[in-house]
Each structure stands twice: as structure tokens, then as C-alpha cells.
Chains A and B, each alone.
Chain A
Amino acid sequence: MSVNDLFKQELKVINLGLKSFQNDLKSQGVTTVQVNWKPKAGGKKNMLNLLGRISKTKKL
């Protein structure tokens, strides 16, 4: 379904992440579903602290 097809349809959004984005969409009457997302088991070998990774590390 191309971009121009999307323009003709009703937007239906799957939200992966910040709940506030989904809340905003809901408040505009957009059909959405929130994914209760977790990293896949055994995903990354070196399971680093997520919080520490969200910020970019600055090279000294």
C-alpha cells in the first residue's frame, strides 16, 4: 500500500514506545494500539543498561 494509498485511508497507528504519543492520538479519535514492548530474549549479547544507552555516549 503506497504513500498515496495511505493518504486515502483512515490512519490506524500501532504505538511502540512513549505512551504520551498514543494518548495524543487517542484524543484526536485515532484508532491506536499500544505495544507493551520488551527487548527480545537474548537480544543483544552485551545487555547494557537501557537508560544509560538512550543518551549518546560522548567520546572523550
Chain B
Amino acid sequence: MGCPAKTSTRARHMTLRTKIKRNAYYDSVTLMLLSRELQNLEGVEDVLVGMGTDLNLDLARDLGLATSELEALTPNDLFIAAKIDESKTSMDVLESAFNDYLNKRAETDGDDDFQPSSLSSAIQSMPGANMVLVSIAGEYAAAEVDEALDAGLHVMLFSDNVSVEDELRLKQKAVEKGLLMMGPDCGTAIINGKPLCFANAVRRGKIGVVGASGTGTQEVTVQVHKLGEGLSQVIGTGGRDLKEQIGGLMMIQGFQSLIADPETDLIVLISKPPAPSVAEKIYQIAKTSPKPVVIDFIGGDRAAVEAAGAVPCISLEDAAQKAVRILRGEAYADFTGFSLPDEQIDRIIEREVAKLKPDQTELRALFTGGTLADEAMKLLGVHHDIYSNIPLSPEMAIENLPSGRGHICLDLGEDKFTRGRPHPMIDPQTRTEFFKSHVDGNTGVILVDVVLGFGSYHDPAGAVAESVREIRHRLAEQGKDVVVVASVCGTELDSQDLNKSIETLEAEGVIVLPSNAQAVRFTDRVLQRMKKGV
């Protein structure tokens, strides 16, 4: 089961316990996720959840988890068979976790609060409603957004699978009515200081952001907060907004509203490079903006931004740094380095690379945030040949990886990896599996992002730390170690706690850098140092 060896003192305290639920019917994904939840509880060494068929009971026996209570089971009964340390937990705890988990998953109808059964009755029941947050299946979303806009409400559209035609039509309607239509596929916004969907807890302040990239927006807000400033409004546009067909309608709408907002003193725009006609429209607005504008069109045309009188950026962190400096009236420059002095960085790199054997030459970068993965590819992909599902060129697509050898950087939140399973920011299991399957004796350096905040898993740092433990243990059997680099996108106000997350990672020997850009830059230096020879 992949558990590290236990010491004999722990083994002495292990007891086998069984819980049986008669005539219980759950789908297999529920049971699988449930098994994992139970496996992760403190004091649980091993657990198997399944229907009481003969063969499943055989498995329980072979795993050393069977007790006499299992003998009486019928195939229509559910069993939970566990090996637990009774000084740390009990079957009651497991059962309670089991029930809690199922209740959470039930999308409960048994809610005490009134639940109107349609948008229109909801609008009637809450007269002051000003925003609708839509995360239903894409094919139904457009009709609901239509209704919301008709009723004069702003919309945050988290759903994807909405057609381009619908997006255009809905955004045109929204613009006509002076409303926000953030999305489709919009994961991050903070309106009036309230995080929506995936967003971090950050202080309020004078910097306004309009972003077409979820985790890109998150990183910028987090960096602004770290530097001691705050956010007035953070508006999302959805990933397709700046394409030709949509024409940047929401970026423009958001941009203009921030120019008009008395609480916003400086504006930051974040996106992948827009279609040229769309970029042009934005530059026109920037030229006449009375407030300073910082534009991070990730990897885009620097000169064009400058010509528009706006400030270009080389990374998300750089965008935040410049925004803060300009707000404070300080001088600014491209931030290309590290928070720590160069000599210290080099010392750390020397020490880490010294741990490696000559055949440990490969990078494994596993990201949960798409824009953060993008930032990594933009820098690392230039200096090294990186295979990826978001490659810089078609021949570097991950499918072309020569028999598993080479540098790899994956965006695990991309469609291919999230079909039928939760996004890796919500559930770390996908990345945990990739750590197991993709990290081996040829891996020299691992790079990850750890995203905190609303919507994210309750302990992403813990999940990474656990995986790092497993990897180091596995490689130690070959007499090897590995370099692990991370950044944590979060604040001390997030429920997952930035400082605690950093400590958890550092306790496992992970090198934690203060931003994604620095983590990527650090990894680049590690790779260059590795090339020179250990």
C-alpha cells in the first residue's frame, strides 16, 4: 500500500477493527475517495472499504485486515476494515469521518436553509441580490446567465463548456447593461473584499486587478499582500476573454470600472498575450488612463505596453512589485533576482546539488495552477528542453517524450487530467499519484506550486510533504536523494496558513521560495548547476 516501514513499537499498538453497514449502496468513486480520507486519518495504518463479496473479503484477508465479523457478511453489505493504533484513534472516529464525508458529498437537500428551486424564485426571495455565482454544467449555464443579466444582476460564471457564441452574446448584453459577466471558466475574483470561488484572503487596499488567468491573479494578489499593500477589487474575465472573437469585452469593462472607482489608485491587468486587435483596444484605454496601469501580458510585447504609457512586467511577482512601488511613488525595475542575497542562493544550490548522483539529471515540475505552470514553461522552456502538456512547441508535447526520459513540466489542472476527477487544487490525489509514477532514480529536481485559499484543499502543503517523504524514502533505497523546490501561493489569513504551510514543507527539506517566479528561477539555476556536473 505504499506505507513506509513502521517501527516495531508502533506495530505493537495496532488493532484490527471492522465496521459493517448493511444494505448500503455507494458508487465506487465515493468509496474510493472515502477510503483515502480514512487512510489519511491519524492512527490509521491501513483501511479497506468495500462490498462484502467473497473476493473482496479474500482481499481483506490477504491484506491482513480481516476479522471474524467479516465472515457473516453478504455481498450487499459494506465493510470498513481497518488496522488502527487505538492510542490515537478509534473505529468511532472512522465511522464519524465516514458519515461526515458522505454528508458533504450528498450536496445535501437536508439543508435547514430555504432553497428556492429556480433562479427567479431566488431573486424574489432575496430582493437585494446583486450577484449570481454559476457553477452548474456548462450546457445549462448560458440560459441561467441570460436570466440573471435580464434581472440586472452581475454574474460570476465558473462553469466551462459554454460556447464562444454564447459567451459573446452574454458579454455584449452585460456590457450594454453595465454589468459584470465574469467567465466562462472564471475561477478567481474578489469583489468588495469578498473572495469568490478560488481566491486568497488578502487585505483591502488601493490596487485593482483585472485578470484572465485564475492562479495568475491569485499569485499577484498574494504578492501584493506580502508587500504590505491591498486590493480594492479583483475582477475575473474568464480564459477566452482576450481572444479575437470575444474582443476583451470584460477586460475592458473591468478596466474602465476600475478607472472610475474612487477606491482604486492603480490598476494591474493580467492575461496571456491577447489577440492583437484586442491588445490595441486595451492600450488605447491605458493611454488615456489617469491612473497608473501595470500590464502583465505573460510573455507578451513589452514595447507595445510601454508605448501605451503602461508598465510591462516579466513575471506575476514583478507585476505585484511594480504595482506596489509605483503606488508608493518609489523607483522600480524588473525584478529578476531573489529575495535572498545571490551568494546565499548559490550556497543553497551547491549544497542541494551535492546530494545528487551523476545520473540524476531530470526535472519533474508538477503544477496545480495553470498560469503558474505557464510561467515555469516560459522561463525554463527557453533554457532547457521540457516536455509538457503545455509545451512551447508541438514537438515538445508530452506524448513525444522518448521512453520516459527527459525534463517534464505538467499542468495537472488541464482538461486531460481532470476529466471525471476533481481539480488538483481541490484534491491532491492526482499529483500524489504523479509523484509516485513520474519521480524515479533519474530525477534530480522536483518543482511544485502549493496554492492556498478559498476553494483549495484543506492542507495542500501537508499532501506535498507526505509525497516528498515517500519519494525520499524510495530514493534512499537506491542511495539517492533529490532536490525539491516549491512556492506557496497564500497568505497568513488563508485557512491553510502560509507560515504553517512553509514550515510543513521545510520540515521535509523542501526549498521554499517566496514566489512562483523565484522558485522557477531557482530551479533554472539548479538545472544549470546540474549540467555543469555534480
Contact = CB atoms under 8 A, between A and B. Distances in A.
A33 B122 contact: yes
Interface in B218-236: 233
Interface string B145-183: 000100011100011010000000000000000111000
A46 to B, nearest CB: 10
Interface size class of A (residues with CB under 8 A): 35 or more
Interface size class of B (residues with CB under 8 A): 35 or more
A1 B130 contact: yes
B122 A35 contact: yes
Interface in A27-43: 28, 30-31, 33-40, 43
B137 A54 contact: yes
B136 A37 contact: yes
Contacts, number: 144
Interface stretch (B253-261, B305-313, B428-436, B480-488): B253-261
Interface of B: 107-109, 111, 113-119, 122-123, 125-126, 128-140, 143-144, 148, 152-154, 158-159, 161, 178-180, 191-192, 194-197, 233, 253-254, 257, 260-261, 263, 415, 419-420, 454-455
Interface in A7-25: 7, 9-22, 24-25
5 contacts: A6-B154, A22-B133, A35-B118, A43-B140, A53-B139
A55 B420 contact: yes
A22 B253 CA distance: 26
A34 B129 contact: no
Given A38-B117, A39-B140, 17 more contacts: A1-B152, A6-B154, A9-B192, A10-B128, A11-B192, A12-B129, A14-B122, A14-B123, A14-B131, A15-B132, A18-B158, A33-B115, A36-B116, A40-B143, A53-B138, A56-B161, A56-B415
A44 to B, nearest CB: 7
A14 B118 contact: no
A24 B195 contact: yes
